[in-house]
Amino acid sequence: MGLEFRNVNHTYNPGTTVERHALKDISFTLEDGEYLGLIGHTGSGKSTLIQHMNGLLKADSGDILYDGQSIYDKSYSMNQHHFKVGMVFQYPEHQLFETTVLKDVCFGPGNMGLSEDEAVSRAKEALKLVELPEIYWDKSPFILSGGQKRRAAIAGVIAMDPKILIMDEPAAGLDPEGRDSILESISMIRKERGITVVLVSHNMDDVAKYATRVLVLNKGSIYMDGTPKEVFSRTKELYDVGLSAPGITVITERLKSLGIGEEDCMISMDDAADMIAKSLRKG
């Protein structure tokens, strides 16, 4: 049944001169198994929204339901909700603190009340899923590279077996190879475990490549909601709210303006190659 938002509102510093309406009447359902790309300009409400998903912030009004039950019901365990909806914050390596990688990844499962053996088993499985080599498991997390630290931090959340995995700019600060590797690992984990993924990103190419659905926020409201092709075909409207389209979309739109190709919005290199090949055959 997923995670459902019903007319959710949130205001920071209400009644003061710096009052800000961060979320305005937000309603949507995050379906099981989706890969949601969440985009919007800085200050659009993305961080506030994902913190409501995880229960770190409480709505001023409206309701949020997980599998049909309000997370604000007295009978609902918010502590369990934090385990079900895992959050990997931007630059998660700053949250690493244990003496070894394995101990750090064990912390979450241990906090859930699992035995030491169960926690270690979960941690090792998670580290394999994020493809962090075993030679690093007994080393300090602080000697790892940036990409390796990111994997260790993600493993710490995966080890708690979340049903929904929220990633806030998981590839921020990484080189292109590291970024692609991290995002491919997340995509693989989603397929293997059948979990729901929420990706917050400023990189439109990443969103177009991995997401099955895109939610665009603007000034605290839902501005667009659709498939990547549906959203990125509206390039002018995206530009109007300070966003861009994937690079390949921009290029192919320019080519179509020159009479090359007639297909709908292109969001991948494969789509673009097919378009150009068809145009050459016609020409």
Give the rounded distance of the alpha carbon of 226 from its chain centre. Answer: 16
Encoded tokens for 98: 């244990």
Burial 216-252 (b: 16+ CB within 10 A, else e): bbbebebbbeeebbebbbbbeebeebebbbbebbeeb
Q: What is the pLDDT of residues 37-65, one digit of tens each?
A: 999 999 999 999 999 999 999 999 999 99
What ranges do the domains of the chain cover? Answer: 246-283
Statement: residue 14 has pLDDT above 60? yes
Whether 237 and 72 have beta carbons less than 8 Å apart is answered as no
Burial 63-92 (b: 16+ CB within 10 A, else e): ebbbeeeebeeeeeeeeebbbbbbbbbebb
pLDDT value for 146? 85
**Dist. CA 277–CA 272, nearest whole Å:** 9
Q: What is the mean pLDDT of the segment spanning 233-248?
A: 89
Confidence band of 80 (pLDDT split at 50, 70, 90): very high
Q: Which residues are registered as beta bridge partners of 244? A: none
**Dist. CA 177–CA 204, nearest whole Å:** 17
pLDDT value for 249? 80
